[in-house]
Chains A and B, each alone.
Chain A
Protein backbone atom coordinates (compact mmCIF):
# COMPACT_ATOMS: atom_id res chain seq x y z
CA UNK A 1 0.00 0.00 0.00
CA UNK A 2 1.34 3.42 -0.96
CA UNK A 3 1.33 6.44 1.35
CA UNK A 4 -1.26 8.22 -0.84
CA UNK A 5 -3.67 5.32 -0.55
CA UNK A 6 -3.10 5.01 3.20
CA UNK A 7 -3.68 8.74 3.78
CA UNK A 8 -6.83 8.84 1.69
CA UNK A 9 -8.24 5.96 3.67
CA UNK A 10 -7.27 7.62 6.96
CA UNK A 11 -9.11 10.78 6.02
CA UNK A 12 -12.18 8.76 5.04
CA UNK A 13 -12.38 7.02 8.44
CA UNK A 14 -15.23 8.08 10.77
CA UNK A 15 -12.80 7.80 13.68
CA UNK A 16 -9.10 8.26 12.79
CA UNK A 17 -8.11 6.92 16.18
CA UNK A 18 -9.29 3.49 15.06
CA UNK A 19 -7.63 2.67 11.72
CA UNK A 20 -8.82 -0.45 9.85
CA UNK A 21 -6.78 -3.65 9.89
CA UNK A 22 -5.39 -3.19 6.37
CA UNK A 23 -3.93 0.22 7.36
CA UNK A 24 -2.15 -1.02 10.46
CA UNK A 25 0.90 -2.66 8.78
CA UNK A 26 1.54 0.48 6.72
CA UNK A 27 1.17 2.82 9.69
CA UNK A 28 3.53 0.63 11.71
CA UNK A 29 6.27 1.08 9.15
CA UNK A 30 5.65 4.67 7.98
CA UNK A 31 6.32 7.56 10.34
CA UNK A 32 5.00 10.16 7.88
CA UNK A 33 1.63 8.46 7.69
CA UNK A 34 1.52 8.10 11.45
CA UNK A 35 2.04 11.86 11.61
CA UNK A 36 -0.89 12.37 9.23
CA UNK A 37 -3.02 10.11 11.38
CA UNK A 38 -2.06 12.12 14.48
CA UNK A 39 -2.95 15.35 12.68
CA UNK A 40 -6.34 13.89 11.68
CA UNK A 41 -7.04 12.89 15.29
CA UNK A 42 -6.11 16.37 16.47
CA UNK A 43 -8.28 18.06 13.85
CA UNK A 44 -11.23 15.84 14.79
CA UNK A 45 -10.86 16.81 18.44
CA UNK A 46 -10.70 20.52 17.57
CA UNK A 47 -13.86 20.28 15.45
CA UNK A 48 -15.73 18.62 18.32
CA UNK A 49 -14.83 21.53 20.57
CA UNK A 50 -16.34 24.18 18.28
CA UNK A 51 -19.63 25.70 19.71
CA UNK A 52 -22.82 24.70 17.88
CA UNK A 53 -25.68 27.29 17.83
CA UNK A 54 -29.08 26.03 18.99
CA UNK A 55 -31.59 25.40 16.18
CA UNK A 56 -34.63 24.47 18.21
CA UNK A 57 -36.54 27.71 17.65
CA UNK A 58 -35.84 27.78 13.89
CA UNK A 59 -36.72 24.11 13.56
CA UNK A 60 -40.04 24.64 15.33
CA UNK A 61 -40.91 27.64 13.16
CA UNK A 62 -40.14 25.60 9.99
CA UNK A 63 -42.34 22.72 11.14
CA UNK A 64 -45.20 25.08 11.94
CA UNK A 65 -45.03 26.56 8.44
CA UNK A 66 -45.19 23.14 6.85
CA UNK A 67 -48.20 22.20 8.94
CA UNK A 68 -50.01 25.40 7.95
CA UNK A 69 -49.47 24.86 4.23
CA UNK A 70 -50.62 21.25 4.32
CA UNK A 71 -48.84 18.23 2.95
CA UNK A 72 -46.83 18.65 -0.27
CA UNK A 73 -47.37 15.02 -1.23
CA UNK A 74 -51.05 14.35 -0.83
CA UNK A 75 -51.20 10.75 -1.93
CA UNK A 76 -48.99 7.98 -0.89
CA UNK A 77 -46.81 6.85 -3.79
CA UNK A 78 -47.30 3.21 -4.69
CA UNK A 79 -44.41 1.29 -6.13
CA UNK A 80 -45.92 -0.87 -8.90
CA UNK A 81 -45.29 -4.53 -8.44
CA UNK A 82 -44.05 -6.21 -11.61
CA UNK A 83 -45.13 -9.52 -13.09
CA UNK A 84 -41.67 -10.76 -12.35
CA UNK A 85 -42.08 -9.84 -8.68
CA UNK A 86 -45.42 -11.59 -8.57
CA UNK A 87 -43.81 -14.94 -9.26
CA UNK A 88 -45.90 -15.57 -12.40
CA UNK A 89 -42.76 -16.32 -14.38
CA UNK A 90 -41.31 -18.71 -11.89
CA UNK A 91 -42.38 -21.85 -13.83
CA UNK A 92 -41.00 -20.35 -17.06
CA UNK A 93 -37.72 -19.42 -15.41
CA UNK A 94 -37.54 -22.88 -13.93
CA UNK A 95 -38.17 -24.42 -17.37
CA UNK A 96 -35.59 -22.16 -19.02
CA UNK A 97 -33.03 -23.22 -16.44
CA UNK A 98 -33.63 -26.84 -17.38
CA UNK A 99 -32.96 -26.24 -21.10
CA UNK A 100 -29.60 -27.27 -22.41
CA UNK A 101 -28.71 -24.17 -24.37
CA UNK A 102 -26.12 -26.03 -26.44
CA UNK A 103 -28.96 -27.86 -28.17
CA UNK A 104 -30.87 -24.63 -28.72
CA UNK A 105 -27.73 -23.20 -30.32
CA UNK A 106 -27.54 -26.29 -32.51
CA UNK A 107 -31.18 -25.86 -33.48
CA UNK A 108 -30.68 -22.23 -34.45
CA UNK A 109 -27.60 -23.17 -36.49
CA UNK A 110 -29.52 -25.97 -38.23
CA UNK A 111 -32.43 -23.65 -38.97
CA UNK A 112 -30.14 -21.01 -40.41
CA UNK A 113 -28.35 -23.62 -42.55
CA UNK A 114 -31.63 -25.08 -43.85
CA UNK A 115 -33.06 -21.63 -44.49
CA UNK A 116 -30.00 -20.54 -46.42
CA UNK A 117 -30.00 -23.78 -48.38
CA UNK A 118 -33.63 -23.36 -49.42
CA UNK A 119 -33.02 -19.69 -50.14
CA UNK A 120 -30.26 -20.49 -52.58
CA UNK A 121 -31.79 -23.62 -54.12
CA UNK A 122 -35.42 -22.63 -54.64
CA UNK A 123 -35.91 -20.20 -57.53
CA UNK A 124 -37.89 -17.17 -56.54
CA UNK A 125 -40.35 -15.39 -58.84
CA UNK A 126 -39.54 -17.68 -61.69
CA UNK A 127 -35.82 -17.21 -61.25
CA UNK A 128 -35.98 -13.43 -61.39
CA UNK A 129 -35.79 -11.97 -57.95
CA UNK A 130 -37.59 -8.82 -57.11
CA UNK A 131 -34.29 -7.26 -56.05
CA UNK A 132 -32.86 -7.50 -59.57
CA UNK A 133 -32.21 -3.95 -60.69
CA UNK A 134 -34.19 -3.89 -63.95
CA UNK A 135 -37.93 -4.10 -63.28
CA UNK A 136 -38.50 -6.61 -66.05
CA UNK A 137 -42.08 -7.49 -66.67
CA UNK A 138 -42.55 -11.22 -66.24
CA UNK A 139 -45.93 -10.88 -67.93
CA UNK A 140 -44.38 -9.33 -71.04
CA UNK A 141 -41.81 -12.10 -71.02
CA UNK A 142 -44.60 -14.68 -70.96
CA UNK A 143 -46.46 -12.91 -73.77
CA UNK A 144 -43.32 -13.03 -75.90
CA UNK A 145 -43.04 -16.71 -75.10
CA UNK A 146 -46.70 -17.25 -76.06
CA UNK A 147 -46.03 -15.42 -79.32
CA UNK A 148 -43.24 -17.80 -80.24
CA UNK A 149 -45.40 -20.73 -79.11
CA UNK A 150 -48.10 -19.57 -81.51
CA UNK A 151 -45.52 -19.14 -84.26
CA UNK A 152 -44.61 -22.81 -83.78
CA UNK A 153 -48.13 -24.14 -83.15
CA UNK A 154 -49.62 -26.17 -85.95
CA UNK A 155 -52.92 -27.37 -84.47
CA UNK A 156 -55.97 -25.60 -83.04
CA UNK A 157 -55.46 -27.58 -79.86
CA UNK A 158 -51.99 -26.08 -79.36
CA UNK A 159 -53.23 -22.58 -80.13
CA UNK A 160 -56.21 -23.02 -77.77
CA UNK A 161 -53.81 -23.79 -74.91
CA UNK A 162 -51.73 -20.69 -75.62
CA UNK A 163 -54.74 -18.39 -75.90
CA UNK A 164 -56.13 -19.81 -72.66
CA UNK A 165 -52.88 -18.99 -70.87
CA UNK A 166 -52.75 -15.56 -72.44
CA UNK A 167 -56.32 -14.81 -71.27
CA UNK A 168 -55.42 -15.92 -67.75
CA UNK A 169 -52.41 -13.59 -67.80
CA UNK A 170 -54.51 -10.64 -68.85
CA UNK A 171 -56.95 -11.34 -66.05
CA UNK A 172 -53.98 -11.67 -63.69
CA UNK A 173 -52.66 -8.31 -64.84
CA UNK A 174 -56.03 -6.70 -64.15
CA UNK A 175 -56.01 -8.32 -60.70
CA UNK A 176 -52.56 -6.95 -59.96
CA UNK A 177 -53.35 -3.33 -60.72
CA UNK A 178 -57.10 -2.86 -60.21
CA UNK A 179 -56.66 -0.96 -56.96
CA UNK A 180 -54.32 1.65 -58.43
CA UNK A 181 -54.94 1.74 -62.19
CA UNK A 182 -56.89 4.39 -64.04
CA UNK A 183 -60.25 3.50 -65.55
CA UNK A 184 -58.98 3.55 -69.14
CA UNK A 185 -56.10 1.24 -68.22
CA UNK A 186 -58.52 -1.28 -66.75
CA UNK A 187 -60.82 -0.97 -69.75
CA UNK A 188 -57.87 -1.59 -72.06
CA UNK A 189 -57.07 -4.83 -70.20
CA UNK A 190 -60.72 -5.90 -70.31
CA UNK A 191 -60.80 -5.22 -74.06
CA UNK A 192 -57.65 -7.26 -74.62
CA UNK A 193 -59.19 -10.06 -72.58
CA UNK A 194 -62.34 -9.94 -74.71
CA UNK A 195 -60.30 -10.10 -77.92
CA UNK A 196 -58.26 -12.98 -76.65
CA UNK A 197 -61.32 -15.00 -75.61
CA UNK A 198 -63.70 -14.12 -78.46
CA UNK A 199 -61.14 -14.04 -81.30
CA UNK A 200 -58.66 -16.55 -79.94
CA UNK A 201 -60.00 -19.14 -77.54
CA UNK A 202 -63.49 -19.63 -79.01
CA UNK A 203 -62.52 -19.83 -82.73
CA UNK A 204 -59.70 -22.27 -81.97
CA UNK A 205 -62.06 -24.40 -79.88
CA UNK A 206 -64.50 -24.48 -82.80
CA UNK A 207 -61.71 -25.70 -85.07
CA UNK A 208 -61.13 -28.78 -82.94
CA UNK A 209 -63.52 -31.04 -84.80
CA UNK A 210 -64.70 -34.27 -83.12
CA UNK A 211 -63.18 -36.39 -85.87
CA UNK A 212 -59.79 -34.64 -85.90
CA UNK A 213 -58.51 -36.16 -82.68
CA UNK A 214 -59.42 -38.82 -80.12
CA UNK A 215 -62.53 -37.83 -78.11
CA UNK A 216 -60.66 -37.91 -74.80
CA UNK A 217 -57.94 -35.59 -76.07
CA UNK A 218 -60.54 -33.21 -77.48
CA UNK A 219 -62.47 -33.18 -74.20
CA UNK A 220 -59.26 -32.61 -72.28
CA UNK A 221 -58.26 -29.64 -74.45
CA UNK A 222 -61.70 -28.05 -74.15
CA UNK A 223 -61.95 -28.75 -70.42
CA UNK A 224 -58.55 -27.16 -69.79
CA UNK A 225 -59.65 -24.02 -71.59
CA UNK A 226 -62.98 -24.00 -69.74
CA UNK A 227 -61.18 -24.32 -66.43
CA UNK A 228 -58.95 -21.34 -67.19
CA UNK A 229 -61.97 -19.26 -68.14
CA UNK A 230 -63.83 -20.46 -65.06
CA UNK A 231 -60.95 -19.45 -62.83
CA UNK A 232 -60.74 -16.07 -64.55
CA UNK A 233 -64.48 -15.55 -64.06
CA UNK A 234 -64.35 -16.46 -60.37
CA UNK A 235 -61.35 -14.28 -59.66
CA UNK A 236 -62.59 -11.27 -61.63
CA UNK A 237 -66.01 -11.49 -59.92
CA UNK A 238 -64.38 -11.66 -56.52
CA UNK A 239 -62.14 -8.67 -57.24
CA UNK A 240 -65.03 -6.69 -58.72
CA UNK A 241 -66.84 -6.92 -55.39
CA UNK A 242 -64.00 -5.14 -53.61
CA UNK A 243 -62.80 -2.95 -56.48
CA UNK A 244 -62.92 0.83 -56.53
CA UNK A 245 -65.58 2.23 -58.87
CA UNK A 246 -63.13 3.00 -61.69
CA UNK A 247 -62.09 -0.68 -61.90
CA UNK A 248 -65.39 -2.40 -61.18
CA UNK A 249 -66.81 -2.16 -64.71
CA UNK A 250 -63.67 -3.59 -66.28
CA UNK A 251 -63.50 -6.51 -63.86
CA UNK A 252 -67.19 -7.26 -64.36
CA UNK A 253 -66.58 -7.14 -68.10
CA UNK A 254 -63.76 -9.65 -67.76
CA UNK A 255 -65.94 -11.90 -65.60
CA UNK A 256 -68.80 -11.72 -68.11
CA UNK A 257 -66.50 -12.41 -71.06
CA UNK A 258 -65.03 -15.42 -69.24
CA UNK A 259 -68.49 -16.69 -68.34
CA UNK A 260 -69.78 -16.37 -71.92
CA UNK A 261 -66.63 -17.94 -73.34
CA UNK A 262 -66.87 -20.83 -70.94
CA UNK A 263 -70.50 -21.40 -71.85
CA UNK A 264 -69.67 -21.39 -75.55
CA UNK A 265 -66.85 -23.88 -75.01
CA UNK A 266 -69.22 -26.08 -73.06
CA UNK A 267 -71.63 -26.02 -76.00
CA UNK A 268 -68.80 -26.86 -78.38
CA UNK A 269 -67.74 -29.76 -76.18
CA UNK A 270 -71.31 -31.09 -76.25
CA UNK A 271 -71.41 -30.82 -80.03
CA UNK A 272 -73.98 -28.01 -80.07
Chain B
Protein backbone atom coordinates (compact mmCIF):
# COMPACT_ATOMS: atom_id res chain seq x y z
CA UNK B 1 0.00 0.00 0.00
CA UNK B 2 2.83 2.37 0.90
CA UNK B 3 5.17 1.23 -1.84
CA UNK B 4 3.58 3.17 -4.67
CA UNK B 5 4.17 6.65 -3.20
CA UNK B 6 7.73 5.69 -2.35
CA UNK B 7 8.25 4.42 -5.88
CA UNK B 8 6.86 7.67 -7.28
CA UNK B 9 9.26 9.71 -5.12
CA UNK B 10 12.19 7.45 -6.00
CA UNK B 11 11.39 7.71 -9.70
CA UNK B 12 11.29 11.51 -9.53
CA UNK B 13 14.52 11.61 -7.54
CA UNK B 14 16.29 9.27 -9.97
CA UNK B 15 15.06 11.28 -12.93
CA UNK B 16 16.21 14.48 -11.30
CA UNK B 17 19.64 13.05 -10.50
CA UNK B 18 20.02 11.77 -14.04
CA UNK B 19 19.09 15.14 -15.55
CA UNK B 20 21.44 16.96 -13.19
CA UNK B 21 24.28 14.56 -13.95
CA UNK B 22 24.12 15.24 -17.67
CA UNK B 23 27.29 17.01 -18.83
CA UNK B 24 26.90 20.75 -19.00
CA UNK B 25 26.65 21.99 -22.48
CA UNK B 26 30.14 23.05 -23.40
CA UNK B 27 30.98 25.84 -25.76
CA UNK B 28 29.40 25.62 -29.19
CA UNK B 29 31.51 25.19 -32.30
CA UNK B 30 31.11 28.89 -33.02
CA UNK B 31 32.28 29.83 -29.52
CA UNK B 32 35.24 27.45 -29.81
CA UNK B 33 36.17 28.98 -33.14
CA UNK B 34 35.99 32.45 -31.62
CA UNK B 35 38.37 31.33 -28.86
CA UNK B 36 40.66 29.65 -31.38
CA UNK B 37 40.85 32.85 -33.41
CA UNK B 38 41.59 34.87 -30.29
CA UNK B 39 44.28 32.45 -29.16
CA UNK B 40 45.69 30.86 -32.32
CA UNK B 41 48.91 32.86 -32.20
CA UNK B 42 49.32 32.03 -28.54
CA UNK B 43 48.74 28.32 -29.16
CA UNK B 44 51.45 28.31 -31.81
CA UNK B 45 53.94 30.24 -29.69
CA UNK B 46 53.22 28.30 -26.52
CA UNK B 47 53.71 25.06 -28.46
CA UNK B 48 57.17 26.23 -29.57
CA UNK B 49 58.12 27.40 -26.06
CA UNK B 50 56.86 24.13 -24.60
CA UNK B 51 59.06 22.13 -26.95
CA UNK B 52 62.02 24.38 -26.13
CA UNK B 53 61.34 23.85 -22.42
CA UNK B 54 61.59 20.11 -23.00
CA UNK B 55 65.00 20.59 -24.57
CA UNK B 56 66.22 22.82 -21.71
CA UNK B 57 68.59 20.95 -19.47
CA UNK B 58 69.38 23.59 -16.86
CA UNK B 59 67.36 25.76 -14.53
CA UNK B 60 68.76 28.84 -16.22
CA UNK B 61 67.65 27.64 -19.66
CA UNK B 62 64.22 26.89 -18.30
CA UNK B 63 64.06 30.30 -16.60
CA UNK B 64 65.07 31.90 -19.88
CA UNK B 65 62.33 30.03 -21.74
CA UNK B 66 59.77 30.96 -19.07
CA UNK B 67 60.86 34.58 -19.47
CA UNK B 68 60.01 34.33 -23.19
CA UNK B 69 56.60 32.93 -22.32
CA UNK B 70 55.93 35.79 -19.87
CA UNK B 71 57.02 38.30 -22.51
CA UNK B 72 54.61 36.76 -24.99
CA UNK B 73 51.76 36.84 -22.49
CA UNK B 74 52.67 40.39 -21.49
CA UNK B 75 52.26 41.42 -25.09
CA UNK B 76 48.73 40.01 -25.04
CA UNK B 77 48.01 41.87 -21.80
CA UNK B 78 49.13 45.18 -23.28
CA UNK B 79 47.03 44.55 -26.39
CA UNK B 80 44.02 43.88 -24.17
CA UNK B 81 44.68 47.20 -22.41
CA UNK B 82 44.87 48.97 -25.76
CA UNK B 83 41.54 47.45 -26.76
CA UNK B 84 40.07 48.20 -23.30
CA UNK B 85 39.07 44.53 -23.15
CA UNK B 86 38.75 43.86 -19.42
CA UNK B 87 37.79 40.19 -19.87
CA UNK B 88 40.86 39.45 -21.93
CA UNK B 89 43.00 41.53 -19.58
CA UNK B 90 41.81 39.47 -16.62
CA UNK B 91 42.33 36.16 -18.43
CA UNK B 92 45.83 36.91 -19.67
CA UNK B 93 46.94 38.51 -16.40
CA UNK B 94 45.98 35.30 -14.62
CA UNK B 95 48.06 33.26 -17.06
CA UNK B 96 51.02 35.62 -16.87
CA UNK B 97 50.89 35.48 -13.09
CA UNK B 98 50.76 31.66 -13.20
CA UNK B 99 53.80 31.30 -15.46
CA UNK B 100 55.79 33.89 -13.50
CA UNK B 101 54.97 32.35 -10.13
CA UNK B 102 54.96 28.62 -10.95
CA UNK B 103 57.46 28.45 -13.80
CA UNK B 104 59.83 31.39 -13.85
CA UNK B 105 60.36 32.03 -10.14
CA UNK B 106 61.27 28.44 -9.12
CA UNK B 107 63.75 28.14 -11.99
CA UNK B 108 65.35 31.50 -11.23
CA UNK B 109 65.67 30.44 -7.65
CA UNK B 110 67.12 27.04 -8.60
CA UNK B 111 69.55 28.65 -11.05
CA UNK B 112 70.74 31.03 -8.36
CA UNK B 113 71.49 28.04 -6.16
CA UNK B 114 73.20 26.15 -8.97
CA UNK B 115 75.30 28.86 -10.57
CA UNK B 116 78.58 30.01 -9.18
CA UNK B 117 78.76 33.83 -9.07
CA UNK B 118 82.20 33.55 -10.59
CA UNK B 119 80.87 31.70 -13.67
CA UNK B 120 79.90 33.06 -17.05
CA UNK B 121 76.34 31.82 -16.55
CA UNK B 122 75.96 34.19 -13.61
CA UNK B 123 75.93 37.23 -15.86
CA UNK B 124 73.26 35.59 -17.98
CA UNK B 125 71.27 34.72 -14.87
CA UNK B 126 71.39 38.34 -13.69
CA UNK B 127 70.32 39.45 -17.12
CA UNK B 128 67.39 37.01 -17.30
CA UNK B 129 66.30 37.96 -13.77
CA UNK B 130 66.46 41.69 -14.51
CA UNK B 131 64.48 41.24 -17.73
CA UNK B 132 61.87 39.18 -15.96
CA UNK B 133 61.41 41.79 -13.23
CA UNK B 134 61.32 44.68 -15.71
CA UNK B 135 58.85 42.91 -17.96
CA UNK B 136 56.41 42.19 -15.14
CA UNK B 137 56.77 45.66 -13.62
CA UNK B 138 56.22 47.38 -16.95
CA UNK B 139 53.20 45.20 -17.68
CA UNK B 140 51.67 45.97 -14.27
CA UNK B 141 52.10 49.71 -14.81
CA UNK B 142 50.69 49.40 -18.34
CA UNK B 143 47.29 48.71 -16.79
CA UNK B 144 45.88 52.20 -16.17
CA UNK B 145 44.60 53.31 -12.79
CA UNK B 146 42.08 55.79 -14.14
CA UNK B 147 39.49 55.98 -16.86
CA UNK B 148 36.74 53.50 -17.55
CA UNK B 149 39.16 50.58 -17.85
CA UNK B 150 41.45 51.52 -14.98
CA UNK B 151 38.67 51.97 -12.45
CA UNK B 152 36.98 48.64 -13.24
CA UNK B 153 37.35 45.91 -10.66
CA UNK B 154 38.75 43.45 -13.16
CA UNK B 155 41.48 45.84 -14.25
CA UNK B 156 42.30 46.61 -10.61
CA UNK B 157 42.56 42.88 -9.87
CA UNK B 158 44.73 42.34 -12.95
CA UNK B 159 47.05 45.19 -11.96
CA UNK B 160 47.39 43.80 -8.45
CA UNK B 161 48.13 40.31 -9.76
CA UNK B 162 50.81 41.57 -12.11
CA UNK B 163 52.36 43.75 -9.42
CA UNK B 164 52.35 40.75 -7.05
CA UNK B 165 54.07 38.63 -9.71
CA UNK B 166 56.73 41.33 -10.19
CA UNK B 167 57.21 41.54 -6.44
CA UNK B 168 57.46 37.75 -6.26
CA UNK B 169 60.30 37.76 -8.78
CA UNK B 170 61.86 40.93 -7.35
CA UNK B 171 64.94 42.61 -8.77
CA UNK B 172 68.12 40.53 -9.01
CA UNK B 173 70.44 40.78 -6.05
CA UNK B 174 73.51 42.97 -6.43
CA UNK B 175 76.12 41.49 -8.69
CA UNK B 176 78.51 39.39 -6.61
CA UNK B 177 80.79 38.57 -9.48
CA UNK B 178 84.38 39.45 -8.73
CA UNK B 179 85.72 41.68 -11.51
A contact residues vs B (CB 8 Å cutoff)? 99-100, 103-104, 106-108, 110-112, 114-115, 118-119, 122, 124-125, 129-130, 133-137, 139-141, 143-148, 150-153, 159, 162-163, 166, 170, 173, 176-177, 179-181, 185, 188-189, 192, 195-196, 199-200, 203-204
Q: Is B143 engaged at the interface, CB distance under 8 Å to the other chain? A: no
Please tell me if the beta carbons of B54 and A177 are within 8 angstroms of each other in the complex: no
CA distance A125 to B65 in the complex (A): 31
| 26 contacts across the A-B interface (CB closer than 8 A) | A103-B8, A106-B9, A107-B9, A110-B16, A111-B13, A114-B20, A134-B87, A134-B91, A137-B91, A140-B39, A143-B50, A145-B98, A147-B103, A148-B99, A150-B53, A151-B65, A152-B103, A163-B54, A173-B36, A173-B43, A176-B32, A177-B33, A177-B36, A181-B33, A189-B36, A196-B50
Interface 9-mer from B22-30, B112-120, B130-138, B159-167: B22-30
Known: A134-B90, A151-B103, A180-B30. A200 touches B24 (CB 8 A): no
Interface string of B90-129 (1 = CB under 8 A from A): 1100010011001110110000000000000000000000
Cα distance, A180 to B54, chains bound together (Å): 33
Contact A195 B47 (CB under 8 A): yes
Q: In the complex, which of the residues A100, A111, A140, A166 contacts B50, with contact meaning CB atoms closer than 8 Å? A: A166
Q: Would B33 and A151 count as touching, CB distance under 8 A?
A: no
B76 — nearest CB in chain A belongs to which residue?
A140
Q: Is B5 an interface residue (CB 8 A)?
A: yes
Closest to B90 in A: A134
A107 close to B8 (CB less than 8 A): yes
* B29 contact set on A, CB distance < 8 A: 176-177, 179-180
CB distance from A64 to the nearest CB of B (A): 69
Q: How far is the CB of B20 from chain A (nearest CB, A)?
A: 4
Q: Indicate the member of A100, A124, A196, A199 with the most B CB atoms within 10 Å.
A: A199
A140 near B95: Cβ-Cβ < 8 Å: yes
**How far, in whole Å, are A151 and B66 apart by their CA atoms in the complex?**
7
Cβ contacts under 8 Å, B53 to chain A: 147, 150-151
- Shortest C-beta distance, B144 to chain A (Å), equals 19
Does B17 sit at the interface, judged by CB under 8 A?
A: yes
Residues of chain B contacted by A110 (CB below 8 angstroms)? 9, 12-13, 16
How distant is the Cα of A226 from the Cα of B65 in the complex, in angstroms? 28
Contact yes or no, B13 A125, CB < 8 A: no
Do A115 and B50 contact each other (CB < 8 Å), given the known contacts A107-B9, A176-B32?
Answer: no
**Is B21 on the interface with A (CB-CB < 8 A)?**
yes
Enumerate chain A residues within 8 angstroms of B66, measured Cβ to Cβ.
147, 151
Q: Is B178's beta carbon under 8 Å from chain A?
A: no
Query: Could you say which of A119, A163, A192 contacts B20, with CB atoms under 8 Å apart?
Result: A119
Q: A189 to B30, alpha carbons, bound, how many Å?
A: 16
B27 contacts A130, C-beta separation under 8 Å: yes
In Å, the complex CA distance between A133 and B88 comes to 11
Q: With the chains together, A240 CA to B150 CA distance in Å?
A: 46
Most buried by A among B32, B33, B90, B95: B32
**Cross-chain contact of A151 among B43, B51, B87, B106 (Cβ < 8 A):** B106
Q: A114-B13, A135-B34 are in contact. Are A130 and B54 (CB under 8 A)?
A: no
For A106, the chain B residues whose CB sits under 8 A away are 5, 9
- Which chain B positions have C-beta within 8 A of A108? 12
Q: In the complex, are the beta carbons of B43 and A192 less than 8 A apart?
A: yes
CA distance A114 to B9 in the complex (A): 11
Q: Contacts of B104 on A, CB cut-off 8 Å?
A: 151
Q: Give Cα A124 to B39, complex, Å.
A: 23
Q: Which 8 A-B pairs have the closest CB atoms?
A: A103-B5, A151-B103, A134-B87, A111-B16, A107-B12, A118-B20, A111-B12, A176-B32
Establish whether residues A139 and B35, one from each chain, have CB atoms under 8 Å apart when the complex forms. yes
- With A134-B91, A144-B98, A150-B53 as contacts: A188 and B20 at CB distance below 8 Å: no
Say yes or no: is B176 at the interface (Cβ < 8 Å to chain A).
no
